């Protein structure tokens, strides 16, 4: 399975490259339509009535599928007469590639994708390729619940959102361990280095090609740079050349003490989860701490799983939904995007037995009773309190920095 997976992923990576290549080589007269034709929210909802939203999203979690298909789908039907079609994919790039392919073929108004769960590099690809429908935030009533002053919401991995996507969840990196087996897990990157040496074979991280492996390597990078401040903004080769060797030195120092002596790295976070589940490694980490609770509930992780952030802070991000420029159901998609921001939808999603992910809206902007509802939510014991975690949140880097770090890791550590 892991081999196939990496093959499929590399196929998709190559496909995207090909698509971008063709889109550049054979520019078709496709101009992204980013103009909003609706005057107010009533216009949008009446146009949306009876519409269908094809929402492309990662489909590998039954609880998320249930939440989206049953709860959101049910409510959209009931409230707005909108049919939600959830289309499960393995990799967000698949949806991006569909839109890219359609643009290349000159299909500018009858696209097949109405909404994508997206962030980071995929958002960059779409925004820079003029593949997104933008400029509709002022139409959405629930947009008021979003704190756009927060730079980690207004910027998606360092790239300004510019009204091209709507936040859905907040996620922040955290570590997990089995409290029955590990008493004192390392609470900072420097502690981790010592811990790994004392506990050979008990730790590993996915390769930089994996989303979560890449963010772990960025934590080491932040540590080597003495904090993220020096790395923010556009990519700077000189800064990179100073910091990178330190980061590679740390990772190479750890290497002989990793699982299988660092000869190989898991190629996907699911494989690290499996290693942790099988107690081959003692630590697990994930960009979305809700997954710890989900995995315990699914019987993948032991009941005694607990999680924590690092003393120096951990990297946080926001994930969004975006509407492609060629969606034929933009009004219905806007209604869906507005609905998922509502207090009700965000509350349902925050329940530990539904999903347990942190809300994208600013709770303090809600009426008193809604606010209390969120604050009194029971948390899964395996999931660290998002409020405590977010006190030490580190920003994400510009995608160019991320690509450079990922490439550098392949060349300097993986070999």
Partner 1 sequence: MSNGTVTRQEDISHDGLSGPAWFALILLISWLVLPLIPLGIWSISRSWFFPDITPSAYSLRAWTYVFSTTSEVLPALGMTTFIALCATLLSAIIGLPAGRALGLYQFRGKAVIELLILAPTIVPGIAVALGLHVVFLNLGLAGSFSGVLIIHLIPTLPYMVLVMAGVFANYNPEIEAQARSLGAGPIQTFYYVTLPAILPGLLIGSLFTFLVSWSQYILTLLIGGGRVVTLPLLLFNFASAGRNDITGAISMIYILPGVVLLLLGARHLTGRNSATESLRQI
Binding interface with partner 1 (CB under 8 A): 1, 5, 8, 11, 15, 18, 22, 54, 56, 58-62, 65-66, 69-70, 87-90, 94-95, 98, 101-102, 104-107, 112-113, 268, 270-271, 273-274, 277-280, 298-300, 302
Smallest distance from partner 1 to CB 298, Å = 7
Q: How far is the CB of 263 from partner 1 (least distance, A)?
A: 20
CB of 300 to partner 1, least distance (A): 7
* Alpha carbons 117 and 129: distance in angstroms, whole number: 17
Dihedral angle sign, alpha carbons of residues 340, 342, 345, 349: positive
We find the least distance from the C-beta atom of residue 348 to partner 1, in angstroms, to be: 15
Give the total residue count for the chain. 415
Q: Nearest approach, Cβ of 104 to partner 1 (angstroms)?
A: 6
Do the beta carbons of residue 38 and residue 47 sit within 8 Å? yes
Instruction: CB nearer to partner 1: give 7 or 388.
Output: 7
Query: Residue 145 or 322: which CB sits closer to partner 1?
Result: 322
Contact 283, 203 (CB under 8 A): yes
Given the complex with partner 1, which of 270 and 414 has the nearer CB atom? 270
Strands (E), 59-216: 83-89, 115-118, 155-156, 159-160, 166-172, 174-178
Q: How far apart are the first and last CA of the chain?
A: 23
Q: Can you read off the two tokens belonging to residue 3? A: 């081999």
Q: What is the DSSP letter of 357?
A: P
In whole angstroms, how close is the CB of 355 to partner 1 at the nearest point? 14
For 334, counting Cβ atoms within 10 Å of its Cβ (0-12 exposed, 13-18 middle, 19+ buried), the class is buried
Exposure string over 112-124, b if 16+ CB within 10 A, otherwise e: bbbbbbbbbbbbb
Quickly tell me which residue has 């959102």 as its tokens. Answer: 161
- Shortest separation between residue 284's beta carbon and partner 1, angstroms: 12
Residue 149 CB, shortest distance to partner 1, in Å, is 35
Closer residue to partner 1 in complex, CB, 8/109: 8
Which DSSP state fits 324? B
Q: How far is the CB of 41 from partner 1 (least distance, A)?
A: 29
Least Å from the CB of residue 255 to partner 1: 24
The residue among 87 and 154 lying less far from partner 1, judged by its C-beta, is 87
**105 or 160: whose CB is closer to partner 1?**
105
Nearer to partner 1, 280 or 400 (CB): 280
Residue 93: how many CA atoms within 13 Å on its side-chain side? 16
Nearer residue to partner 1 within complex by CB, 60 or 141: 60
- Comparing CB distances to partner 1, the nearer of 4 and 184 is 4
Nearer to partner 1, 26 or 35 (CB): 26
**Can you list the positions of beta strands (E) in 5-119?**
52-58, 83-89, 115-118
Q: Contact 125/167 with Cβ under 8 angstroms?
A: no
* Backbone angle region of 91, left / alpha / beta, with phi > 0 → left and psi within -120 to 50 → alpha: beta
Torsion angles phi and psi, residue 340, rounded to 5: -65, -15
For residue 372, the Cα-to-chain-centroid distance in whole angstroms is: 27
Q: Among candidates 212, 333, 196, which has minimal Cα distance to 268?
A: 212
Nearer to partner 1, 28 or 388 (CB): 28
Closest distance between partner 1 and the C-beta of residue 186, in Å?
23
Which has the closest alpha carbon to 152: 167, 139, 130, 140? 167
Half-sphere exposure of 292 (CA within 13 A, CB side): 29
């Amino acid at each position: 399975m892991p081999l196939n997976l990496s093959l499929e992923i590399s196929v998709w990576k190559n496909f995207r490259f090909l698509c971008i290549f063709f889109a550049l080589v054979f520019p078709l007269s496709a101009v992204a339509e980013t103009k909003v034709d609706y005057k107010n929210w009533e216009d949008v909802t009446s146009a949306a009535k009876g519409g269908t939203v094809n929402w492309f999203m990662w489909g590998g979690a039954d609880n998320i599928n249930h939440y989206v298909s049953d709860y959101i789908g049910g409510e959209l039907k009931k409230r707005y007469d909108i049919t939600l079609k959830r289309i499960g994919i393995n990799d967000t790039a698949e949806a991006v590639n569909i839109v890219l392919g359609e643009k290349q073929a000159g299909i500018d108004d009858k696209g097949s994708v109405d909404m994508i769960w997206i962030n980071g590099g995929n958002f960059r690809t779409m925004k820079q390729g003029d593949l997104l429908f933008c400029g509709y935030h002022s139409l959405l009533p629930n947009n008021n619940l979003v704190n756009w002053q927060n730079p980690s919401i207004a910027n998606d991995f360092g790239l300004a959102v510019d009204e091209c996507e709507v936040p859905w969840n907040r996620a922040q990196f955290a570590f997990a361990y089995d409290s029955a087996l590990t008493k004192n897990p390392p609470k900072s990157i420097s502690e981790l280095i010592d811990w790994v040496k004392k506990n050979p074979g008990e730790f590993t991280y996915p390769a930089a090609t994996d989303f979560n492996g890449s963010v772990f390597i960025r934590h080491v990078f932040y540590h080597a740079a003495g904090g993220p401040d020096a790395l923010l903004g556009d990519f700077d080769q000189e800064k990179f050349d100073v910091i990178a060797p330190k980061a590679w030195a740390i990772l190479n120092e750890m290497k002989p003490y990793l699982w299988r002596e660092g000869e190989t790295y898991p190629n996907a976070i699911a494989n690290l989860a499996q290693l942790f589940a099988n107690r081959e490694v003692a630590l697990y980490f994930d960009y979305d701490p809700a997954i710890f609770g989900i995995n315990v509930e699914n019987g993948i992780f032991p009941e005694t799983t607990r999680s924590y952030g690092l003393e120096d802070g951990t990297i946080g991000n926001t994930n969004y939904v975006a509407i492609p420029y060629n969606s034929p159901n933009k009004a219905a998609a806007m209604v869906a995007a507005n609905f998922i921001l509502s207090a009700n939808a965000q509350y349902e999603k925050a329940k530990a037995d539904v999903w347990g992910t942190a809300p994208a809206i600013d709770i303090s902007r809600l009426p008193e009773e809604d606010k209390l509802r969120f604050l009194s939510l029971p948390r899964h014991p395996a999931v660290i309190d998002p409020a405590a975690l977010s006190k030490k949140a580190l920003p994400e880097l510009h995608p160019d920095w991320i690509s450079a770090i990922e490439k550098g890791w392949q060349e300097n550590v993986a070999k």
